[in-house]
Structure 1
Amino acid sequence: MQNSVIATFGTATVHGVRQAAACRFSAIPYAEPPVGERRFLPPVPCALEGQIDATRPGPVAPQLPSRLADAMGDFDAPQSEDCLHLTVWTPAPDAAHRPVVIWLHGGAWQSGGGAIEWYDGSRLASEGDVVVVNVNYRLAALGWLCVPGEPANVGLLDCETAIAWVVRHIAAFGGDPARITVMGQSAGGSNIAALLTRKPAFQRAIIQSGSMGRGYRSRAQADAIGLAFLQALGVASLDDARALPVQALLDAQNDPGVKTALAEEGTGRSLFSPVLDGKVLPFDIEVDLAAAPGKADVLIGSTADEMAAFPGMGRDADSRAYGRRVFVAPAAAWAQAARAAGRNAWLYEFAFAPSDRFGACHCIELPFMFGNVGAYAGAPMLDGMTPGDADRLVGQMLPAWLRLIRGESPGWPQAPALRTFV
């Protein structure tokens, strides 16, 4: 049964719902709708006033189906360019000043969303007495297209703007702005690394299967793909592209010319990723990236068969070696650098492998650290899992993640020690 609940700040009254496990506030705008003339531009923070209906889940960013759907299954959520929203779960919108965790989803900067059932934060909120905030940020061309003379990395600026909103307003939802953990997986984890090269407004990070710098494009590389993208759209500029229907932007991701430009880059990166544009991120990021581990305590790790979720990859020796280069070694190096800088750092590996096909693949830990196994019903990567397996892994992971969010040790020695979940 759902009952109304409100949070107030300034002249805004936000109406949510009180559920069995936690109060939920959905689709809270943190920036002006990035539509029309605002398409492709940096986010503009919005000031909320009056009565805000946050009782119903909102849309996610426009996107094509995920390339990992064969492993994870798919999700059903409305899509809209007007998607710069937050979802908040809290035990109560009171003055308790609880620890806060902000979730940045993965999806290769092209798919996913904070407002989907996979990432429901109610169990984290209720069992940990913490406030959970999920972020939608712009995806694919809308958030990461880069063309000469135009802004880049607006999707990353979305994340930064959302975090700033949380710092300003989370006390109204029972959270403590001085105790914020930012948590992300895959592209979301890589976004955290990028944010840590700037001026982060958070003290702790949980980084799951992030490539930790591998995804950054030079401005020249990004401009080359951007120009191919404009050509696929049949336009000469971003101004012209602002007038196109969003479906045209999605369809252009599969244009042969765009695929050729990506192949010619020869890096194996996703079509979209953070760009070393000289403004949001420096042209030469190595110095800033080397300093980033010293800015937050961290829980960081990967899975044993990362690449098995990706098309054309598996659990063979070559795929595993590739996964170690892209995910495992960078996580260990980040933890080592954090320790050397005087930070607390813990390493984990997720090695539970219920199916022969996918093993412990990219994303497989997500159901367990959120405690949302039911939301992944039918996911092929979980074929072979028993109810006992699910209960055991949730019982191990969810409390460990919550301890880190509360500023404690997750429950094992710091890096280079490794906690393996099997």
Structure 2
Amino acid sequence: MSTTPDTDLLSLHIQQGALTGRRDGGVYRFSAIPFAQAPVGDLRFKPPVPAGSWQGTRDATRPGPIAPQLPSRLANVMGDIHNEQSEDCLHLTVWTPAADAKRRPVLVWLHGGAWQSGGGALDWYNGAALAEKGDLVVVTPNYRLAALGWLHVPGETANVGLLDQEAAIQWVVENIEAFGGDPENITLMGQSAGATSIACLMARQARYPRVIVQSASMGRGFWSSADAASLAGLVLEAAGAKDLDHARTLPYSTFLKAQQAPQVVQALKEKGAGRALFSPVVDGEVIASDAADILPEVATQADVLIGYTQDEMAAFPGFDTGPASHAVGDRIFGAPSRQWAEYAARAGRKAYLYRFDYAPTECFGACHCIELPFVFGTLCAFQDAPMLHAAPASHMEGLVDTMQRQWIDFIRGGAPETSVFPHLTTFK
């Protein structure tokens, strides 16, 4: 480790080479660190290949691109995403109080977005506040989205977006000590698609002592191989791809447009499952079983802080804050969360259950994603989010402090104020 003449810069060495990061508040941020090679050309649709080394010192002071994606279906709730997009997106961001030998607890964040949108590099998920307040190392990886990460073609490796997540975590295990983190003390945290991905990762390898699971859509289940292959065939046809080799030569924008093709939209509607077009697939190899089948196993593997929001479905078209929407939200998000906590408690794991009830607007209530600004302390990044419109700043800042203290207590192996299952703690 060395500090450059500019005290806002910090340089360090990892296995791949030297890096320079920049101060972000009271911590240092290292941006756009590659954990895998750019998945382009022959590597498109294939499992991630570890990134190689570089010569000289890599500039990690500027955010990199996020995965190619269409506008989020929750843009009218959370706000728009304007970040640069590129297939060369298999990067992660690290925040650390100091690159020393302290071996701090490590938090790895997996973003949501229905496996179609989002990115670890978004300002929404800036880890500076959590890293500083909790004396933690925070890591936020990108992973491949939509067709580029979750297209299922029989005979080919499925769920490569999940394998991206796994590769990022392996990078953390191998490199995080250089950032002052403890590779043996990693907490995995995710929301929505990211939270559901945690269950998939745990089913593949029991390596996480603690997990934080926010609004996991376990009640929707995963795509069967047959259904996913059927949809993939329609997407490839809409993209004009003769076969997968041809598909590897097409611009990524072709696949984004294909997602909106009438025949694809109609086929998804006919499935009647209320799922995203792309999501985890039960392929028998990367993912062996459906969500309901893996839940009893994965829930016993780690201590868990788990919860959901009171009005999950109010973020989605056709739903509101009424009883019917509550029932749907409870089936998809609430009941599986309580079941996870129950399985964990029965196995002797620490299990903390919460519900986020703060509802600043009548339209969205305590909708899906509304807890995110409070967990990360990124109210400024969410200042234009309709779901927080006209919310009083003083109340929001107090709620940030309340939630962050409890999340940090859990990450550090302590006992948060959040109630132990079966009791439910509500945040208002």
TM over 0.5: yes
Is 1:130 the equivalent of 2:136?
A: yes
Q: Offset at 1:340?
A: 1.0
Confirm or deny: 8 A CA contact 1:6 1:14 kept in the other structure.
yes
Aligned-partner Cα distance in 2 for 1:2–1:356: 47
Pairwise CA distance, 1:414: 1.0
Q: How does 1:311-390 map to 2 (within 5 A)?
A: 311-390=317-396
Match of 1:107 among 78, 102, 113: 113
Distance 1:83 1:17, change over 3 A: same
1:192 aligns with 2:237: no
Are the counterparts in 2 of residues 138 and 155 from structure 1 also a CA contact under 8 Å?
A: yes
Whole-angstrom CA distance in 1 between matches of 2:276 and 2:15: 41
Aligned to 2:64: 58
Task: Output the CA distance in 2 between the equivalents of 1:49 and 1:243.
Answer: 27
Runs of 4+ in structure 1 off by over 3 angstroms are 283-289
The Cα of 1:265 is off from its aligned counterpart by 1.7
Kindly provide the CA deviation profile for residues 270-322 of structure 1, in whole angstroms up to 9, marking residues without a partner as x. 10100000110115665543211111111000000000011121112111110
| Aligned AA (2:131) | A
Does structure 2 conserve the Cα–Cα contact (< 8 Å) formed by 1:163 and 1:201? no
Match of 1:39 in 2: 44
Alpha-carbon contact 1:190-1:213 (below 8 Å) kept: no
Partner of 2:23: 18
| Paired position in structure 2 for 1:411 | 417
1:27 — aligned with what?
32
Aligned-pair CA distance for 1:331: 0.3
Structure 2 unaligned spans of 5+: 1-5
Distance of 1:19 and 1:391 partners within structure 2 = 19
Cα RMSD of the aligned pairs, angstroms, is: 1.4
2:353 match: secondary structure = strand
Which runs of 5 or more structure 1 residues have no equivalent in the other structure? none
**AA aligned opposite 1:220:** A
Give the letter aligned to residue 66 of structure 2: V
Alignment counterpart, residue 81 of structure 2, candidates 57, 75, 92: 75
Aligned to 1:154: 160
Aligned-partner Cα distance in 1 for 2:362–2:292: 39
Q: Which amino acid aligns with 1:242?
A: R
SS at match of 2:381: helix
Percent identity over paired residues: 55
Residues 169-318 of structure 1 correspond to what in structure 2 (within 5 A)?
169-212=175-218, 214-283=220-289, 287-318=293-324
Q: Per the alignment, do residues 329 and 198 of structure 1 end up closer, same or farther by CA in structure 2, a change over 3 Å counting?
A: same
Q: Provide the residue aligned with 1:91 in structure 2.
A: 97
Q: Determine the C-alpha separation between the residues in 1 that align with 2:256 and 2:262.
A: 13
Counterparts of 2:419 and 2:358 in 1: how far apart (Å)?
A: 21
Distance in 2 (CA, whole Å) between partners of 1:141 and 1:11 is 29
TM-score (norm. length: structure 1): 0.97
Could you give the per-residue CA deviations for residues 68-112 of structure 1, whole angstroms, max 9, x where no partner exists? 011111122100000000100000111110000000000000000
201-210 vs 122-131, which deviates more? 201-210
Contact 2:354 2:418 in 1 (8 A): no
For the 8 Å contact 2:104–2:137, the answer to whether it is kept is yes
